[in-house]
Structures are given as C-alpha cells and as structure tokens.
Amino acid sequence: MLSFFKDYKIFGIVFLILSIIIVSIIYNTLNVYQPLPIYQPAMVSTELVDSTIQYQKKYHKIADFKLINQNGKTITQNDYKNKIYVADFFFTTCQTICPIMTNHMADIQKEIINDDEVMLLSHTVTPDIDTVAQLKRYAIEKGVNDAKWNMVTGDKKQIYELARKSYLAVKDDGDGGDFDMIHTENFMLIDKKRQIRGFYDGTDPEAIKELLEDIEILKQEK
C-alpha cells in the first residue's frame, strides 16, 4: 500500500512538472511578438486620404518637411531621423478637443522624457494665427519640453498636404477647397523609417495607454 502511494506521488510530481512545461509553451506561443502594421493609404478610410494616393498599397512614408517650432528654429525630417515619434494636428485657440489632446500629449511626454528614441511633433492647422510667439506662449502653458516636443507652424499648404498626403489624418471640410480641412483628434505613431504604425484617438485615455504600449512594441524592431 505504501509503495502504491509512493509511486502515485512520483507520478503526481512528474505530471505537475509536465503540465507546467506545457502551459509555459502554450503561453509563450500565444504571446509571441506581433509587429505593428505598416499603414498604407489603401488601408485607411478614403475620406482621410488625398484622392491622388487613395489606392497606394505600399512604400508610403512621411514626406520631407520644413517648418518652424515654438523657439523659431527650423525643424525638418532630419530632426526626427532614427526617432520614433507621435504626431498630431491642433490649433492654440481651439476650445474643444485640442486642450484634451494637448494634455494627453503632455502625459506621453512624461512617459518618454528620458527615452532618447521617442519624440513628439504637433502641427498647427491655423498657421496664420499660431505664430512662433503664440506657439511659445502655448508651449510654456502646456509644459512643453523643447528637447522632446516641437510645436510647429509654417506654410499652410505644406501643413495641410502633410496631414492629407503623409499622415492620412484628416477629412476635408467639404467646401471644395484644395487645402481646407476640419480638425482631427488623431494621433499618429511614426517609426524610424518614417512609416505610419498606428492611429489613436487623442481624446481617449485608453487609446493613449495603447499608444504607449505600441511604442514599446515598436522599440523592439531592429
């Protein structure tokens, strides 16, 4: 009888060890690193994309740009070379979604403040109002760290083309103008190759959490 229970005990231990190994294998299989999608114009709602590129299925990247930040410094794509960054479009006089978006961008800034791989880029959609001086006042008010976060103004046509043809971020306003658009709540996650890797609702705290998680996933890419 004692021998039976001894054998049973050994069987139980072996079964437990095997069970742990099997569960671990299943867990690791289900949690394999999953890369983020690389968004192309054809993957995005046509209302957010300029008609000239709506059916493009590959090779989409953020175009070269030359804009001016809150300190009067010229900012180009070279300032974001080999960086992951979060981009958005806003305007300083907006009283609806912009304050929420900017506060959420400030939350992201806190999380990435010591991360040399990640930066932020906010484009004004009213450059005629948002001068360098206006952006500087707004940046100070919102706690912008100049080394991490550029708020940029510049040529309106260029900014709107970036929104429609590069970031695939906004709807036009329906009045027939080539460079008119309504504002967008979208945050875009851009990788080191200037590719779009995610879209997020900048007014939604849960979406911001997802964005921060996706930044960590993106940092695992070689």
CATH code, 215:
3.40.30.10
Say if CB 58 and CB 40 are below 8 A apart: yes
Which pLDDT value is given to residue 5? 47
Q: Are residues 17 and 89 in the same domain?
A: no
Which pLDDT value is given to residue 171? 72
Say if CB 187 and CB 88 are below 8 A apart: yes
Residue 218 CB: number of other CB atoms within 10 A?
Answer: 19
Rounded Cα distance, 214 and 218, in Å: 6
State how many domains the chain has.
2
Nearest to 159, CA basis, from 33, 63, 27, 84: 63
Which pLDDT value is given to residue 170? 83
Q: Are residues 69 and 89 in the same domain?
A: yes
Which pLDDT value is given to residue 190? 98
Q: Are residues 23 and 99 in the same domain?
A: no
Q: Are residues 22 and 52 in the same domain?
A: no
Q: Are residues 66 and 48 in the same domain?
A: yes
98 belongs to an annotated ligand binding site: yes
Rounded Cα distance, 84 and 106, in Å: 16
Domain that holds residue 6: 1-32
Residue 67 CB: number of other CB atoms within 10 A?
Answer: 22
pTM score of the predicted model: 0.83
123 belongs to an annotated ligand binding site: no
Q: Are residues 90 and 172 in the same domain?
A: yes
Which pLDDT value is given to residue 47? 85
pLDDT in tens, the chain (222 residues): 545 445 555 655 656 666 666 645 444 445 566 899 999 999 999 888 888 999 999 999 999 999 999 999 999 999 999 999 999 999 999 999 999 999 999 999 999 999 999 999 999 999 999 999 999 999 999 999 999 999 999 999 999 999 999 999 987 654 444 456 567 999 999 999 999 999 999 999 999 999 999 999 999 997
Distances (CA, A) of 18 to 5, 7, 31, 53, 150: 20, 17, 20, 54, 54
